[in-house]
Amino acid sequence: MAELKERLRSDLTAAMKGRQTTVVATLRMALAAVTTEEVAGKVARELSDEEVLKVLTREVKKRNEAAEAFSGAGRPEQADAELAEAEVLKAYLPAQLSDDELAELVAQAIAEVAEQSGEQPGQKQMGQVMKTANAKVAGRAEGGRVAAAVRAKLLG
């Protein structure tokens, strides 16, 4: 079993004993999302830690988007609840890259693509650069941040 999934389960048990309602609800939701991902497709399977991280990252993104929507609709209490859930899940994600670290990884990705294609990549090769950069970033930065960094390097 994935180590991260086991940690989620043990933390859920501890939160239940400590009567931490937000943490309990958030971890139950996260485990449900992991289980749903495991049974999606033709064959049920066990997720690796990397796949569990992807699910958790997706759930954090959903919470942040929901909080934004609630704020825009004048529902600050709902927005705060969504942000609190996102914070609980962020504890399980790897530390986010700084802008400098992200720029360095993007530069490496551009250099790799340039080496493979034999020419300096431009806007047309953004997909190739993004694929290489996302592999290097491995969930430590949001896709939008990575895309912005790649676009800035390619155009700038």
Q: What is the pLDDT of residues 109-126, one digit of tens each?
A: 888 888 887 788 777 888
Residue position matching structure tokens 């825009």: 72
16 has pLDDT over 60:
yes
Residue position matching structure tokens 């996102």: 86
Q: What is the pLDDT of residues 48-71, one digit of tens each?
A: 888 888 899 899 999 999 999 999
pTM over 0.85: no
Q: How would you class 150 by CB atoms within 10 Å of its CB: exposed for 0-12, middle for 13-18, buried for 19 or more? A: buried
Ranges in the chain annotated CATH 1.10.10: 99-155
Ranges in the chain annotated CATH 1.10.1510.10: 3-90
Could you please state the CATH topology (level 3) that the domain comprising 3-90 is classified under: Hypothetical Protein Yqey; Chain: A; domain1 (1.10.1510)
Could you please state the CATH topology (level 3) that the domain comprising 99-155 is classified under: Arc Repressor Mutant, subunit A (1.10.10)
Q: Is 50 left (phi over 0), alpha (psi -120 to 50) or beta?
A: alpha
